[in-house]
Chains A and B, each alone.
Chain A
């Protein structure tokens, strides 16, 4: 975004350095969420801030991907809701109730006993929806005509519409 009319190489480099770390942190929050502070919603917001940083640093986006380094918002949103809905409905196939969850404590080498709940899959859906929401906001409100990162030609192509 060119709200801050110049691009600072220092900021850009710094953001590149922390970007993946923040994304990893968000995954950490997602996985531990069932047993410690965290969860899909928080993790999604953290991942959102990662993209926000990239965006604020003012990198050029590729056509069709208004937020640098991010997939298309519509894709993430759709995938998120799909994952959440499918995991919510999956127990029905096994004769269970909607949203019924199970959990196990498999022993993984190195890590030891890992508590694992099926709710994690559902939470992943929530995570994706939140990330997608942040991306959608950034790409619609951020990329304005004149100051835009997204070339105007792109939304003439109906296939690229968000």
Chain B
């Protein structure tokens, strides 16, 4: 039940945002201040998702772990190649490698 609430909730919200100007507002545009803050949202949200995954493990702040090193390497790969597959393979490969060497 909860799964379907999530599915439909996320679906309705996503569709309304996508349709906002194209269908719902019809010609009325959003205020420029709001559009300026929207341009910052992806950077802020994604960073709030990524950084704790690299620095916090099992609920504890752990500044220098294998996930941080693998994550930084993956960011460099993403920056150089702009390729999701290489980013995933590089980051996961390093984390597997560190694990095999006993660094968890």
Question: Do A and B come from the same complex?
Answer: no
Which residues of A are at the interface with B, using a C-beta cutoff of 8 A? none
